[in-house]
Structure 1
């Protein structure tokens, strides 16, 4: 005996939109709003490395190459950013307080996995800001074994994961509270 199921057309469309399309910035196309570009771990790491070279050249009084025209913004809660950030990142509060300073720069927001940063990216795009969401965010960063630092620039292996449902590599210490 062969069973057949009738599935309404709109259900098929919804399922196709959710499971078959690349959902930019956490289902951005499905729930409306602008399509948000993303940046990979490799590309973000390369941008930050280039910026470090510029800073190092400036401190050694060599002629630096032009600074990268971007800012990395951690949109996580105060409790999360007080544990660690991606090196060189500023907090959402710092960005919002000094928005004019960062005008015309590419803004790269991140959070734990990319949902909150994706929502923030949509808000920024609506305001006319150039944005690339770091989808995968800090969990992708540490999966690649990349460094973290405290807000005052000290190296750390601690990472706030927002929830204990996430696992971190053994080289890092997970914090959830």
Structure 2
């Protein structure tokens, strides 16, 4: 099982903005990328050795709208709908929500924290992910460079195709 290292709680960046009182820890792009890479390597090794695929101790949840997730997601992520419909399957795992820049995922992370679910908000979310030029996939797991940026005010690296509708 892969371990998440503790992070200091967020400095209340969402507290006053969203009317919440407790602080939700955050996860940085480098840590999330490393977790996903380690999980992928562990899965590949288990398959090669004919062993059961190890379950991660985290789940990445895309909280964006259906039109947004239909464009692309971070590899290994599931939709909020899939998480909510199968919450018991993820009990005890650290939930790592993300959205476009971190606002919606911050609100969702706070809801989860208020329900005693272990959670770390990916504050930079998918825009931070693509700014580090990390891969994206479709919901079917196929590589893509398309990313829903929510608004044309957001700029992304040239290797990606921005989608706003």
Provide TM-score, normalisation by structure 2. 0.88
Contact 2:20 2:110 in 1 (8 A): no
Separation in structure 1 between the aligned mates of residue 38 and residue 155 of structure 2, nearest angstrom:
30
Instruction: Decide which of 32, 56, 69 is 1:68's aligned counterpart.
Output: 56
Aligned pair count?
Answer: 155
Determine the structure 2 residue equivalent to 1:59: 47
Contact 2:46 2:53 in 1 (8 A): no
DSSP-derived class of the 2:95 partner: strand
Contact 1:57 1:64 in 2 (8 A): no
- For 1:82-121, list aligned pairs within 5 A: 82-121=70-109
Q: CA RMSD in A?
A: 1.7
Provide TM-score, normalisation by structure 1. 0.83
Separation in structure 2 between the aligned mates of residue 70 and residue 176 of structure 1, nearest angstrom:
29
Separation in structure 2 between the aligned mates of residue 35 and residue 55 of structure 1, nearest angstrom:
33
Gaps of 5+ in 1: 1-21
Gaps of 5+ in 2: 1-9
DSSP-derived class of the 1:72 partner: strand
- Say whether 1:44 aligns with 2:32: yes
Shift of 1:59: 1.5
Q: Once superposed, which parts of structure 1, at least 4 consecutive aligned residues long, lie more than 2 Å away?
A: 29-33, 62-68
Greater Cα radius of gyration, structure 1 or 2: 1
Shift of 1:32: 3.0
Contact 1:54 1:64 in 2 (8 A): no
Separation in structure 1 between the aligned mates of residue 98 and residue 135 of structure 2, nearest angstrom:
15
- For 1:10-25, list aligned pairs within 5 A: 23-24=11-12
DSSP-derived class of the 1:93 partner: helix
DSSP-derived class of the 1:71 partner: strand
